[in-house]
Amino acid sequence: TCYYPEHWDEALWREDLSRMLACGIEVVRIAEFAWNKIEPAEGVYSYDFFDRFLDVAEEAGMKVIMGTPTATPPAWLTEKYPECLNAGIDGTLYRHGLRRHYNYNSPVYRKMCGNIVEHMAGHYAGRSCVIGWQIDNELNCEANEFYSESDTAAFRGYLQKKYGSLEKLNEAWGAVFWNQTYTDWKEVYVPRPTVSGGVNPHQTLDYLRFISESTNEFARIQADIIRKYIKEGDFITTNGLFGHVDYQKMARESIDFITYDSYPNFAYDLNIYSDRDEMKDRKWSRNLSETRAVSRIFGIMEQQSGAGGWNSRMMQPAPKRGQMTLWTMQSIAHGADFVSYFRWRTCTFGTEIYWHGILDYSGRDNRRLAEVCDIYKKVTALREIAGGEYEAAVGIIKDYDNIFDTEYDKWHERIEKQSQRALFETMQKTHTPMDYVYLTEKTGAEDLQRYRVLFYPHPAILSGRQAAVLEEYAQKGGILIFGCRSAYKDINGKCTMEKLPGVIAKLTGADIPEYTAIAPDREVMVRWGENAFPAAVFTDLVDCAETGKQEAVYMSGDDAGAGALVSGKVGQGKVYYYGSAFTEGAVRAFLKGACVENPYGNFITVPEKCEIAVRVKEGIKYIFVLNYSDMPAELMVLEKMWDMYAGKEVSGALTLEGYGTVCLRRFCDR
């Protein structure tokens, strides 16, 4: 659990830790906001406070993850060095009083952070109770755009390194358009307020890449320092996941694995909760799959354990009886090997007085603590699964260039959102586990080969190198599916003058003579053999080039009769170009066609409202079934399996209570 020794009278520490241990909490994360406890004035270091806490932890037998406190710079620091502050787009500095009001690029802030981390790691890393380190806290949460003078200076440096000359920068940004040509580096800034908001799209793409670089550099400075001091076997992580940061790079350069902060009650937040949203907290499986794309085995640094809300915003209900267990098992089923709750006691002061932990203000025993004790018993019974990997035959490819470009290209974002939602929800409903797979400059076809089917929904930007990796994947037997608006932009986000679909024209066998958005008052249906399903948002008219095979046509709308889907045979595999955004019907048709739908249907049947997630260790499958509804769910176990919680054999009909979970081990895998 997350614990804040600085929030409580020291007399409580011992009792708190022994109560935690009594119900199975074996690790606390501490210190991530406590800079002043270690450096109360510039250059003055004092270790006593956490020394005393770590003494208590060691006596009690509690393990500790230490956070570096750089998300909350001290008042003495920002007052003396305002250049460390972040700013709004209009240049107004964000002042002391909340958190995360700093920028990553100020040389002074980098130095001050380096100092505090050096002193913390140098002093505490050798303590026997310390098992790992968290860098900062939630990099890019709350603010993931940076507009300070330090950022502009660093942005110029980033661009100089990237382009070498202003001529090349002007060319890459298409600066001749609307006379944006730069004649001196001093004229180049991070985005600033403009007439209708927003700036040149190619500049924005570089700006978001730059933020990601800055975030990664900031993390790496700390990781490099901690590495010098940590004991063998201890780890470095950071808690995510937030926008404008390439976590693939972070995993390569700085952290041993990622941890995720999971607050599924955002799905029931009384301010934003919508009844139309079928998935609600089940959507957190999507976030967990994103986390798994960074590290196949990961941790949960903060798992919701109480009602949520700052004193200024948000209204989240407390987890209902059983939901803490459900969310914990959701995390474990997706690849978490540890789960830590936010937080032990609810703070009685400050911005988070309504953000509840396991215990309320008084600290008395309550039903949430009782649930933690019960979770501990269940988790103990699951220990053998640790290290086992989530199993999926279907992947959805993503990459940061397109994520950043799509965020700014609002039109493309509509297409992407529609498809991402349809893909995730349909795979959930059909019990087809899936992974997200990031295509980076390091990815090779061998990394993709574990998936029988890969969707790459709408990569507007696609390089020749990426296309070659994908071609090799198909050559070796993979099935690759593109959606509309693929490969029409170059690496700077400028549109290609090649015939569409650009660098994948040969690979897909498709030719796109024309395209258009679907007007809001139009419905466009697609016919693919015996399947009929709606198109969404956009239609590329998809003809065959020499090599392709026409698979489907639009059967209504202005372009009725025109091609909607073409496939190309590539080596042992197949590549599809589908001319629209994906809908549930389209996803179902592709999954069925590739025979990857519901792969566990032969040994267990579960209703649509439950999720199936499977972890595999040493060839043995562990099947988790998660019931997100408050009503019981009926399962049918079609062969003898081992119920991991109960420690007994089961088969036949099984009832999962509302919010209930079960983990079943297959016998025949042994």
Token digits for 476?
A: 């070796």
Distances 110 to 12, 80, 102, 116, 218 between C-alpha atoms, Å:
35, 15, 10, 10, 7
Q: Which is nearer to ligand GAL, 265 or 466 (CB)?
A: 265
Q: Which is nearer to ligand GAL, 54 or 307 (CB)?
A: 307
Counting other chains too, the contacts that 561-566 makes at CB distance below 8 Å and 24 or more residues apart are: 564/526, 564/528, 564/535, 564/539, 565/526, 565/528, 566/508, 566/509, 566/510, 566/542
Q: Which is nearer to ligand GAL, 265 or 583 (CB)?
A: 265
Partners of residue 573 on adjacent β-strands = 570
- Cβ atoms of 300 and 259 within 8 Å: the answer is yes
Q: Which is nearer to ligand GAL, 338 or 355 (CB)?
A: 355
Q: Which regions of 277-423 does DSSP assign to beta strands (E)?
A: 298-304, 336-342, 389-390, 394-398
Distances 539 to 393, 412, 502, 562 between C-alpha atoms, Å:
28, 12, 17, 10
Token digits for 665?
A: 């081990």
**In a 3-state reduction of DSSP, which class is residue 554?**
strand
- Cβ atoms of 371 and 325 within 8 Å: the answer is yes
Q: Which is nearer to ligand GAL, 308 or 660 (CB)?
A: 308
Partners of residue 650 on adjacent β-strands = 641
- Among 575, 538, 502, CA closest to 409: 538
Rule CB under 6 A: which residues touch ligand GAL? 137-138, 141, 261, 302, 342, 352, 355
- Cβ atoms of 428 and 268 within 8 Å: the answer is no
Token digits for 277?
A: 């949203």
We find the least distance from the C-beta atom of residue 141 to ligand GAL, in angstroms, to be: 6
Q: Which is nearer to ligand GAL, 353 or 638 (CB)?
A: 353
Q: Which is nearer to ligand GAL, 21 or 270 (CB)?
A: 270
We find the least distance from the C-beta atom of residue 301 to ligand GAL, in angstroms, to be: 8
We find the least distance from the C-beta atom of residue 261 to ligand GAL, in angstroms, to be: 5
We find the least distance from the C-beta atom of residue 280 to ligand GAL, in angstroms, to be: 19
- With tokens 């599809």, the residue in question is 576
We find the least distance from the C-beta atom of residue 213 to ligand GAL, in angstroms, to be: 23
Contacts of 34 (CB under 8 A, 6+ apart): 4, 5, 6, 49, 50, 69
Residue type at 189 in one-letter notation = Y
Backbone angles phi, psi at 467, to 5 degrees: -60, -35
Q: Which is nearer to ligand GAL, 12 or 141 (CB)?
A: 141
Angstrom distance (rounded) from CA 115 to CA 107: 12
Angstrom distance (rounded) from CA 218 to CA 241: 16
We find the least distance from the C-beta atom of residue 356 to ligand GAL, in angstroms, to be: 9
We find the least distance from the C-beta atom of residue 111 to ligand GAL, in angstroms, to be: 25
We find the least distance from the C-beta atom of residue 35 to ligand GAL, in angstroms, to be: 14
- Among 583, 627, 589, 588, CA closest to 608: 627
We find the least distance from the C-beta atom of residue 316 to ligand GAL, in angstroms, to be: 10
Q: Which is nearer to ligand GAL, 137 or 598 (CB)?
A: 137
Alpha carbon of residue 277 to chain centroid: 20
Q: Which is nearer to ligand GAL, 355 or 436 (CB)?
A: 355
Angstrom distance (rounded) from CA 208 to CA 190: 10
We find the least distance from the C-beta atom of residue 281 to ligand GAL, in angstroms, to be: 16
We find the least distance from the C-beta atom of residue 144 to ligand GAL, in angstroms, to be: 13
Q: Which is nearer to ligand GAL, 368 or 431 (CB)?
A: 368
We find the least distance from the C-beta atom of residue 510 to ligand GAL, in angstroms, to be: 44
Q: Which is nearer to ligand GAL, 158 or 355 (CB)?
A: 355
